[in-house]
Structures are given as structure tokens and as C-alpha cells.
Amino acid sequence: MNRIDPITLEVLRHALASVTEEMNANLVRSAYSPNIKERRDCSSALFDRRGELVAQAESIPVHLGAMPFSVRAALTAVQAWEEGDVVVLNDPYLGGAHLPDVTFVAPAFAGKEVVAFVACRAHHADIGGPAPGSLAPRATEIYGEGLRIPPVRLWRRGELDDDLRRLLLLNVRTPDERWGDLRAQLAACRTGIARVRDLVARYGADLLDAGMRAVLDYSERRMRAEIQRLPRGMAQFEDALDDDGTGSGPLPIRARVELQGDRVRVDFAGTAPQARGPLNAVFAVTASAVYYCLRAVTDPTIPPNAGCYRPIEIVAPEGSIVNPRPPAPVVGGNLETSQRIVDVVLGALAQLVPDRVPAASQGTMNNIAVGGTDPHTGCPYAFYETIAGGAGARPKGDGVDGVHTHMTNTLNTPVEALELAYPLRVGRYELRSGTGGHGRFRGGDGIRRDFTPLGHTAHVSILTDRRVGQPYGLDGGEAGSRGENVLVRDGEEIPLPGKTELNLHAGETLSIRTPGSGGYGTPD
């Protein structure tokens, strides 16, 4: 193996990261749907020839921690890769997060040898199932959540499998948009492959492979050193999801965090059994949330890769809400349960390293999906977005108003883009002043966003949390305000559950009012 000097290591580390950033930029530029083009609900990553995560674009935490599990499943399914192959999959029980998140995996060759794999994941605004947007808040099996795709080659030796393409597109409501987004993912993979070849031409395959291994070892050394600086000890914390959408709740999540020298152990013993409704988080999602928390309280500048996560042990009881058995439904596990896992792990860490942990943020992604037939075109449409809220107050500063927090790192859908693409009108979009918890430092405020369908009846799915429980404060800070979902009909405000479906008629308004966040420190 080539010995890597520190300067070469640093050059290679940034070169590998730039591959993933360019992949993601190309994916965003090429996408058709506002969910990817405007909200940037997508991620890209680079893996070595053994399938270990080497570099990732700084995008969606819940995608990136889970993507290695999907790549591992693709490498298990395909034993003999050929140049031009592209595998597609979305099975949550094989490393996916939930069915709308579709992953592409492709090899990068140097001569006849695979030197790396590129991968990207994008949230598709519809992947079939009973509800437009594939957000089924009352699903009780994964079969009711949409089209489930095992690792299969959509392109083989560079040739599209048109039979498979037609099968995929026949099962979604918006096939043209889906095909456009799938082609954008292909473009991202081809960008990554081209940049890997550039690196091979510059450094040679052997040095590049040695550099990838060195980058993993470098991240591991830095993570272990950071953990070693933390005080040894054990802490436990518990929080809960409001309900599972089928009448069961609250659903407790418990975590015990142990700092053991240069290692961390996170044990979810005592967490609720897997739910009947779609709030189950597959192990890949649980791991993503834990990785995110540990990176946040150590040194976020450590290169995020497989080496960074080697010192972290996760124990998630099989058959629990944080590691369900199939065919449990999972669409909300990626969205809502991941947020509560973060709240719980950070709550435990706050007892061990209180100067590094903020109060609870809004603790939900406030998911809505709206679909129907556009009265102007006569064609089906499907709109999906998550809505921002308050970010928790910090040990030395106020929280932030109206932002996406923790496991989602997406943007909003700009009102202009939303109203241009869909037969919807946004009537109000504003901060909910005073919804952040009081404290020496106040929590960030939530927001209000109102939607009205134009000239048609729309089907709406809502999957939200923190409508019963509140985001906790720390060190004497007060909790943030709960969120609210409201149907406005003939001037009357009708409260809606946190997880529900309804038909929204022309002239009626859906008002999503997101939670604030916890305050920090005893209020004056």
C-alpha cells in the first residue's frame, strides 16, 4: 500500500468531497420536481470499492447515515458489476429510509476494475400507494405505502431496461416528473463517475484506493480523540411521539448513552414496540440519527465517512419502533421518529456535556402531501413538502425562528414556485411569534403556512408530531409551544389530528402551524 503523506491526504480528502458536492449540484439542477429542484430533498455520496462510505455532500442527514446500508444491499445483490450498470432500490428494510426515497448505486471503473461506487438518493414526490404523495398516515403495512423496489439494475452496461422503466412509471401518479427526476439521478451518478476517473488519471488507482483508506482512518482517529475528551459516564433520557396515527400513543423512546473512553454506546432498551401505524424507523434511520447527534456534539468538521462512525455502537431491540420487523409500515419513521430519536439522544448527552447541547427543536418535519387533478391541465399532480419550525435555544444564544432542523436539512418550497407548479394558493406564510419557550435564551418560533386548492378538490395527507407533547427546554428553560393543524371552512377553524387524511375542497384552507422550540436557562 502507498504511504500517504499529510499533504496528499488533505488534497485527496477535499477532492473526494468535491466529487459528491458536484454530483448533488447536478442532481438539483437537472431535477424536474420542486421537491428536489427547490427544496433540495436529495443527497449524494462516494464509496470505496469495498462499499465503505468515503465522502458525502453536506445535505440531508437522514439520507446520508442510511445510504451505506443501501449500498451494502446493492453490492450483495449484484456480484458481477459491469461498466454502465446502475442499480435502483428503495426498500427500507435494505437500507432505504422510506419508499419515496429512491437510491441509485453505480460503479466507477479504472480499466476492468471497480475503483469506487457513487450513490445518490432523492425523495420522489410520489411513489404510488393509496394517497397522492405516498404519505399514508394510517398505513398498517408497508404494502400500503407505495411501490417497493429491491436492488435491481435499471441500466445494464449503459443500456436502459425499458421493461423495468415502464413497470416503475406505471405505478406512480406523475410518471413524466418521476422519469425526469430519475434521469437527474442518473446524471448525478455519471458526474461522479467522471470525476472519479479524473482522480484516477491524476493519482493512479492504487494511490486513490490507499487515499480512501487513509481518509477513513483519519476520520476514525479524530472521532476517537474527540470522544476521549468528553467526560466518561452514562446518562438516560426519554421522550415520546404523540401517537402512531391509528389511535395508539404516546410512544416512548428511551436511550442510554455511555461514553466509554474513545467509544460511545447508545442503547434503546425500553423503547416502545413497533407500532401498528407508520411511525417505525428502520435501523438505518436510527443509526443516521445517532451518527448525527455524535457528530454535532464532537467536531462537525471531522470528515463524515465510515471511519467517523467506527467508534459508535448502537443497540436497537429488534421488533421495536427503532428497529421494526417487516412488513411494518415506515413512512413516518424516517420523518418523525428520526426527529424524536435525536431529541432523546441529545437529551441524554445534555447531562454529560451540557455546554454543547441545545434545548429541543420543534421535533417534527410537519409533512404534508397534496394531490388531485389539476383543473387547468386535466393531469394528476402530487405535491410534498416538510415545513420548518423553531430551533432550540443554545447554552449561549437564542434559538432560530422558522428553520428546518436536525434530520431534515431541506429548504422550503418558495411560494412563487409552488403556485406556478401546482393548482394551490399559499394564503399565509408567517412566523408564530412567541411560540418559542422562554428562558435565559429563548427558543425559536414556529411558522404558519396556509394552503387552498384552486378550482378542485384535493386529497391531503398530514403526518406531524408535537401536537400533544412539547419540545423540552434545558437548564430551567421552558418548553416550546405545540403545533396545530387546522381546517378553515366558512370562516370556522376546525382542529385536525396530527396524523390524518382529508379531502380539501375549493375555498377551504389547510393551516399548518408548526411548533416552537425549547428555551435554555431559567427565565429572568
| Residuewise pLDDT in 10s, the chain (524 residues) | 457 899 999 999 999 999 999 999 999 999 999 999 999 999 999 999 999 999 999 888 888 788 999 999 999 999 899 999 999 999 999 999 999 999 999 999 999 999 999 999 999 999 999 999 999 999 999 999 999 999 999 999 999 999 999 999 999 999 999 999 999 999 999 999 999 999 999 999 999 999 999 999 999 999 999 999 999 999 999 999 999 999 999 999 999 999 999 999 999 999 999 999 999 999 999 999 999 999 999 998 999 999 999 999 999 999 999 999 999 999 999 999 999 999 999 999 999 999 999 999 999 999 999 999 999 999 999 999 999 999 999 999 999 999 999 998 899 999 999 999 999 999 999 999 999 999 999 999 999 999 999 999 999 999 999 999 999 999 999 999 999 999 999 999 999 999 999 999 999 999 999 999 999 999 98
Side-chain-facing half-sphere of 168: CA atoms under 13 Å: 28
Alpha-carbon distance of 426 to 428, in angstroms, equals: 6
Answer yes or no: are the C-beta atoms of 204 and 325 closer than 8 Å.
Answer: no
3-state secondary structure of 166: helix
For the entire predicted model, the pTM comes to: 0.97
Answer yes or no: are the C-beta atoms of 133 and 380 closer than 8 Å.
Answer: no
For 112-166, the pLDDT digits (tens) are 999 999 999 999 999 999 999 999 999 999 999 999 999 999 999 999 999 999 9
Query: Could you tell me where the beta strands, DSSP code E, fall in 393-497?
Result: 424-432, 446-453, 458-463, 484-489, 492-496
Peptide bond connecting 250 to the previous residue in cis, omega within 30 degrees of 0: yes
Q: Please return the burial class of 166, using the count of CB atoms within 10 Å of its CB with bins 0-12, 13-18 and 19+.
A: exposed
Q: Quick one: which of 244, 126, 248 has its CA closest to 177?
A: 126
pLDDT score for 64: 79
Residue found under cell 504511504: 3
DSSP 298: S
Cα–Cα distances (Å) from 226 to 236, 255, 302, in that order, read: 21, 21, 10
